Amino acid sequence: MNMADDDTADHDQVVLRVSQLDASELDNELLQILKNQFTSAFQYFKPGVLATIEPELNAALRLLVWRFSVYASSATLGQQILNIKYKDKVNKKPQMSLTQKSLYGLIFVGGKWFQERSTDLSSFTRHKQIFTLICGLVDYAEKLLKVVTVVNFLLFLQDGRYQHVTERVLGIKARFAKRQSIRQVSFEYMTRELLWHGFAEFLFFILPLINFQKIKNFISRRFAKSSSSGGDDTMRSAANYEECVVCGEWPTLPHHIGCQHVFCYYCIQSNYLADASYTCPLCGKGIDNDIQSVKCQLSL
């Protein structure tokens, strides 16, 4: 087998089902992005200015997408991103024929337009009965198409050949556009992610078990300078009641622990609950009594 045969065999390799599904999702997303970009240009116009011609605008956008994707390169936009293109299996050619491209565009553009505009076409004809009959046939055809689509998708999941009914009818298959190279799989990134994930899980488990408030109070007791003033209540001046030792704000429900310094009730209570050996940060006085019984009886 020569090199040309090898290339043909590679190009004729069946595309993975997941790649074909991803290509379809990309086509829908790209079309939606294009539509959003177009409608954003009219965001400052009167509301509903595009509502009456929305099916025609959608058809124009689909025509634009078809012209520069399937018609130009025998591949949709999503397929071009994933290195996939359509191949003519009927005539065994590496790309779609002009007839197949035209029929694909007619279904992709005209079929969608007729589906969106069919409910409004009754106002443009005088023969109501004929139009009602046509609408009935169209509705029956849509229901039949839904059933055929489901059956075709089940067959696609089995053999991976034709994802859409259009591909089966036109005789086109998705194939790789270029020769596929051998993937060099590296697990360095996966290993690094697993390591950091395990380390994060360990931190999430161990951090709630550490009493940081107690550690902070221990360090403060170790390095805080002892106050030269005593712990007698008679030494407490009016200036001592203007600032909480912990938060530095005006004391709320002022309390003391036997020294000349004053605390907010919440500040001293939360520190005492976190660390039973909590002491005054300024003078190192410990809590000897129940802090509920040493509320300052002051009229601040």
Mean pLDDT per 10-residue run, the chain (300 residues)? 42 76 91 88 78 86 91 90 87 86 90 77 61 74 88 90 89 83 69 87 84 72 52 48 78 78 83 76 67 41
> Quick one: pLDDT at residue 5?
43
- Contacts for 190-197 with beta carbons within 8 Å, 24 or more apart? none
Identify the DSSP state of 110.
I
pTM value > 0.95? no
Tokens 């005539």 sit on residue: 91
Task: Report the sign of the C-alpha dihedral through residues 214, 216, 222, 224, in that order.
Answer: negative
Name the fold adopted by 223-293: Herpes Virus-1 (3.30.40)
Q: Which pLDDT belongs to residue 148?
A: 92
Q: Which of 275, 274, 253 is nearest to 264 (CA)?
A: 253
pLDDT at position 278 is 76
C-alpha count within 13 angstroms, C-beta hemisphere, residue 79: 25
Q: Which residues contact 261 (CB under 8 A, 6 or more apart)?
A: 240, 245, 280, 282, 283, 285
145 close to 165: Cβ distance less than 8 angstroms: yes
- The whole-angstrom distance between residue 269's C-alpha and the CA centroid of its chain comes to 43
Looking at residue 232, its pLDDT comes to 45
pLDDT of residue 241: 65
Ranges of each domain in the chain:
3-176, 223-293
Tell me what pLDDT residue 128 has.
63
Q: Which residues contact 56 (CB under 8 A, 6 or more apart)?
A: 113, 117
Rounded CA-CA distance 273/265 in Å is: 12
